[in-house]
C-alpha cells in the first residue's frame, strides 16, 4: 500500500485508451465500474478532442456482482461491435474488474465477432502504470495483427539499403506518438518534413492517426524510428526480432540530437548526408544546414544570451524529454543542470547515465513532494518539468517551462510547436528563455521598488490591483528569519512536506547529513547580501554558507561574505 496525493501516471488501462483513441478504426471494450469513464475527459478536455475516445465501458454495479457479470461483458462487446463496426477490437479490464476475474478477453475470443481481429489486453492494474499500459497495448496490437506475417526463423534479415536495388525511396516508420503525449502532433509533422528533405519517405506513423490496416504495412519499412521510447520501445524491439527491421533510437530533440539522428538514419539507410543536406540553398554539409534550419545555435551564441550562462536549471519529466532537456540545457544553452530526474522507472537507466555525465545523481521517483523538495534544495533559476513541477516552481517563485507529460490543457497549444527537429529547437529556445526573461523583469521591478517611481500608489501603470512585487530571486531563503540552518534550507522553506520526502523510499536523493554546524547570518552580513544584485544573490548566499560550513564559521558577517567571494572567484 502506498500513499499517493497526486500521481504522474494513470493506471495502465488509461495507457491502452491512449492507443485506442490515437488510432482510427480501433475500439476498446473496457470491463469497468461506474466512474471509470472519468478518463474520457482527459481526451475531450486536455486534448480538446472533438469526439469521445472509442471506448465502451461495461459499467457494472454492486448488484451485478452477485449475478452474471460475464454475460454483461459479452452483451457489451456484441453491442459495441455492432454499433461501431471497428476494424480491430481491444478487450480489457480496469483494476476492479481484474479482481472479479471475468476474463473479458477469453469471453471475447469465444464470440463470433464477424472476423474482426481482437486483442485481449492483460494489464496488471496493481503493479503497472499508464506508460507501460500504452506500450504493452501498442505491442499486443501490432503483434496480434502481424504475427501471421512473421517470416520463419532463419530467414535472412532484409537490408535497410534494399531500396537502392528496388529502385524506390527509402522509407521508415515513425513509432510512438499518441494523444496525451507531449507535442506529438507537431513532432510528427516536423520529423516527416525533415526526413523528406533528406529523401526519406515515411511509411507509417503509428499509433497516432494509424488504422489497423496501416499496422499491417509496418514490415515494409526499411527502418523503424523509435520516436517515443516510452510507448514504442517494445514494438520496435519486436519488429527488429521478428522482421529484422533495424531501429533508429536517437530521439531528435535539440540541435545535437537532431544531427545525431540524421547521421544515424542516413548511415543506416546508406544515404549521403552531406549531399542530401545541400538542397536548401546553403552549402552542402551539416553545419550550414543547421544554421539555415534552426535559429537556436545563433540565438544561443548571440550576446544577448550571455546572461543565460550558468543559469541553474532543474529538470524532471518522462525519461525521453528529461534526458533531451539535460543535453540541450548543458550543451546548447550553457545552463548548469543542478537536478535531473524522471518518474519513468522503466527508462530509469538512461536518466541515471545522463545525470552521471553531469555529475549528478538522478532522482527517480513518482512522489511529487520528493521532486519539490529536491527542487527547493537545488535552488534553480529555471525549472523544466511536467505541469506538476510548474505548480511546485510557482510555489517556490522560480520560472518554469513544461517539457513533458503529464500536461494541462495549456500545454496543448493551438500553434505549431514541435519539440523535435530544427523547428523544435527554435520552440525550445523560446519557451525556456521566455519564462527566464519574465522572471528577470519581475526581479527588476522588485529591485527598483524603492525608487520613487515605485513608492506606494505609483507602483504600476495600472495602479491598484497590479501584482505584488516581492523579490523572488532568492526563493529558498525568502521570508525567513536571519538565522538559517545550513544543513536543511529547504526544510525551513517547506516544513509541511519535508518529513514526507525524507521518509519516502522512492526518493534517491539523500536528505541532508546530520552533525553539520549551524551558521547564522549577522545583520550586517544579511544587509551586505541584499546589496548584491538579485540575480546572483542566491548563488552568493549558497557559496557563502558552504564556505562558512567548511570552515566551521557560526556567524556569517559581511567579512565572511567577501572572504567567500574571494575564495570562489579563484
Partner 1 sequence: MGVSVADAAPALPELLKQSGQREVFCGLTSIVWLHRRMPDAFFLVVGSRTCAHLVQSAAGVMIFAEPRFGTAILGERDLAGLADANDELDRLVRDLLERRPEIRTLFLVGSCPSEVIKLDLSRAAERLTSQFNGRVRVLNYSGSGIETTFTQGEDNALLALLPLMPSSEERQLLIVGTLADAVEDRFVSLFARMGIDVVRSLPPRRSSELPPVGKGTKVLLAQPFLSGTVRALVSRGAEHIQAPYPFGVEGSRAWMAAAAAAFGIDPALVAQVLDPLVERGRRALAPHRQVLEGKRLFLMPDSQMEIPLARFLSRECGMELVEVGTPYLDRQLMAEDMALLPGGTQISEGQDVERQLERVRAARPDLVVCGLGLANPLEAEGIATKWSIELVFSPIHGCDQAGDLAELFARPLRRRQLLTFA
224 beta partners: 173, 247
Site string for partner 1, 53-72 (x = CB under 8 A): ---xxxxxxx-xx-------
Span from 163-171, 176-184, 326-334, 388-396 in contact with partner 1 (CB under 8 A):
388-396
Exposure string (b/e) for 302-334, b if CB count within 10 Å is 16 or more?
A: eeeeeebeebbbbbbbbbbbbbbbbbbbbebbe
Using alpha carbons, select from 341, 438, 454, 337 the residue that is nearest to residue 397. Answer: 438
Site string for partner 1, 496-525 (x = CB under 8 A): xx-xx--x----------------------
Within 13 A of 188's CA, how many CA atoms are on the CB side?
20
Could you confirm whether 367 is annotated as catalytic?
no
Question: Of residues 85, 99, 434, 523, which one binds partner 1 by CB under 8 A?
Answer: 99
Question: Of residues 203, 242, 258, 387, which one binds partner 1 by CB under 8 A?
Answer: 387
Q: Which of residues 4-63 bind partner 1 (CB under 8 A)?
A: 4-7, 9-11, 13-14, 33-42, 44-45, 48-52, 56-62
Q: Is 219 exposed, middle or buried (0-12, 13-18, 19+ CB in 10 A)?
A: buried
Give 41-78 as a DSSP string: HIIIIIS--SS--SEEE--B-HHHHTS-HHHHHHHHHH
Query: Residue 413 Cβ, how far from partner 1 at the closest point, in Å?
Result: 17
Question: Is 394 near partner 1 (CB under 8 A)?
Answer: yes
Span from 246-254, 457-465, 478-486, 491-499 in contact with partner 1 (CB under 8 A):
491-499
Residues 6+ apart with CB under 8 A from 173: 202, 203, 204, 205, 206, 218, 221, 223, 224, 225
Residue 126 or 452: which CB sits closer to partner 1? 126
Per the CB < 8 A criterion, the answer to whether 273 and 194 are in contact is no
Query: Residue 43 Cβ, how far from partner 1 at the closest point, in Å?
Result: 8
Catalytic residue among 304, 411, 430, 451: 304
Query: Residue 402 Cβ, how far from partner 1 at the closest point, in Å?
Result: 11
Site string for partner 1, 216-245 (x = CB under 8 A): ------------------------------
Q: Which three cell numbers stand for residue 235?
A: 514494438
Q: Is 346 exposed, middle or buried (0-12, 13-18, 19+ CB in 10 A)?
A: middle
Q: Which of residues 116-145 bind partner 1 (CB under 8 A)?
A: 124-127, 129
Query: Residue 15 Cβ, how far from partner 1 at the closest point, in Å?
Result: 11
How far, in Å, CA of 559 to CA of 544, rounded? 10
- The site for partner 1 (CB under 8 A) is made up of 1-7, 9-11, 13-14, 33-42, 44-45, 48-52, 56-62, 64-65, 76, 83, 94-96, 99-100, 124-127, 129, 369, 387-388, 391, 394-395, 406, 408, 496-497, 499-500, 503
Instruction: Give catalytic residues, as residue numbers.
Output: 304
Amino acid at each position: 500500500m502506498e500513499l499517493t496525493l497526486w500521481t504522474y501516471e494513470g493506471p495502465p488501462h488509461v495507457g491502452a485508451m491512449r492507443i485506442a483513441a490515437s488510432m482510427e478504426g480501433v475500439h476498446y471494450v473496457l470491463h469497468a465500474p461506474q466512474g471509470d469513464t472519468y478518463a474520457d475527459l482527459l481526451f475531450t478536455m486536455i486534448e480538446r478532442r472533438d469526439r469521445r475516445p472509442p471506448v465502451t465501458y461495461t459499467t457494472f454495479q454492486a448488484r451485478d456482482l452477485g449475478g452474471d457479470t460475464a454475460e454483461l461483458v459479452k452483451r457489451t462487446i456484441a453491442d459495441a461491435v455492432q454499433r461501431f463496426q471497428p476494424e480491430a477490437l481491444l478487450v480489457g479490464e480496469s483494476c476492479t474488474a481484474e479482481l472479479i476475474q471475468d476474463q473479458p478477453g477469453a469471453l471475447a475470443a469465444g464470440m463470433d465477432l464477424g472476423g474482426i481481429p481482437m486483442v485481449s489486453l492483460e494489464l496488471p492494474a496493481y503493479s503497472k502504470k499508464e506508460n507501460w499500459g500504452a506500450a504493452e497495448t501498442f505491442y499486443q496490437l501490432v503483434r496480434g495483427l502481424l504475427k501471421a506475417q512473421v517470416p520463419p526463423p532463419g530467414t535472412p534479415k532484409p537490408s535497410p539499403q534494399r531500396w537502392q536495388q528496388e529502385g524506390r525511396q527509402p522509407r521508415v516508420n515513425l513509432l510512438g506518438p499518441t494523444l496525451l503525449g507531449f507535442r506529438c502532433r507537431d513532432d510528427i509533422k516536423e520529423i516527416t518534413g525533415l526526413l523528406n528533405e533528406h529523401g526519406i519517405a515515411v511509411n507509417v506513423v503509428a499509433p497516432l492517426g494509424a488504422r489497423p490496416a496501416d499496422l499491417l504495412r509496418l514490415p515494409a519499412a526499411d527502418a523503424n524510428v523509435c520516436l517515443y521510447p516510452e510507448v514504442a520501445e517494445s514494438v520496435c524491439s519486436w519488429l527488429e526480432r521478428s522482421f529484422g527491421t533495424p531501429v533508429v533510437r536517437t530521439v531528435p530533440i535539440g540541435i545535437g540530437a537532431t544531427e545525431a539522428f540524421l547521421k544515424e538514419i542516413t548511415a543506416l539507410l546508406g544515404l549521403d548526408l552531406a549531399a542530401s543536406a545541400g538542397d536548401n540553398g546553403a552549402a552542402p554539409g551539416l553545419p550550414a544546414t543547421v544554421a539555415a534550419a534552426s535559429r537556436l545555435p545563433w540565438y544561443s551564441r548571440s550576446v544577448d544570451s550571455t546572461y543565460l550562462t550558468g543559469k541553474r536549471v532543474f529538470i524532471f519529466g518522462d525519461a525521453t524529454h528529461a534526458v533531451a532537456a539535460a543535453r540541450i540545457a548543458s550543451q546548447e544553452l550553457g545552463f548548469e543542470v543542478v537536478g535531473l530526474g524522471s518518474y519513468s522507472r522503466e527508462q530509469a537507466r538512461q536518466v541515471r547515465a545522463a545525470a552521471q555525465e553531469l555529475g549528478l545523481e538522478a532522482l527517480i521517483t513518482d512522489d511529487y513532494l520528493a521532486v519539490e523538495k529536491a527542487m527547493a534544495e537545488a535552488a534553480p533559476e529555471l525549472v523544466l518539468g511536467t505541469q506538476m513541477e510548474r505548480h511546485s516552481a510557482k510555489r517556490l517563485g522560480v520560472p518554469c517551462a513544461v517539457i513533458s507529460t503529464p500536461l494541462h490543457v495549456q500545454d496543448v497549444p493551438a500553434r505549431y510547436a514541435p519539440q523535435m527537429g530544427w523547428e523544435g529547437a527554435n520552440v525550445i529556445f523560446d519557451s525556456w528563455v521566455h519564462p527566464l526573461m519574465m522572471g528577470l523583469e519581475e526581479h527588476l521591478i522588485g529591485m527598483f521598488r524603492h525608487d520613487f517611481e515605485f513608492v506606494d500608489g505609483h507602483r504600476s501603470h495600472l495602479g491598484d490591483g497590479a501584482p505584488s512585487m516581492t523579490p523572488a530571486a532568492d526563493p529558498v531563503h525568502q521570508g525567513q528569519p536571519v538565522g538559517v540552518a545550513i544543513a536543511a534550507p529547504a526544510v525551513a522553506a517547506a516544513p509541511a512536506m519535508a518529513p514526507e520526502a525524507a521518509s519516502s523510499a522512492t526518493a534517491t536523493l539523500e536528505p541532508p547529513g546530520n552533525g553539520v554546524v549551524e551558521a547564522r547570518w549577522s545583520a550586517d552580513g544579511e544587509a551586505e547580501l541584499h546589496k548584491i544584485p538579485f540575480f546572483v544573490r542566491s548563488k552568493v548566499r549558497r557559496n557563502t554558507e558552504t564556505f562558512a560550513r567548511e570552515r566551521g564559521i557560526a556567524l556569517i558577517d559581511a567579512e565572511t561574505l567577501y572572504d567567500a567571494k574571494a575564495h570562489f572567484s579563484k
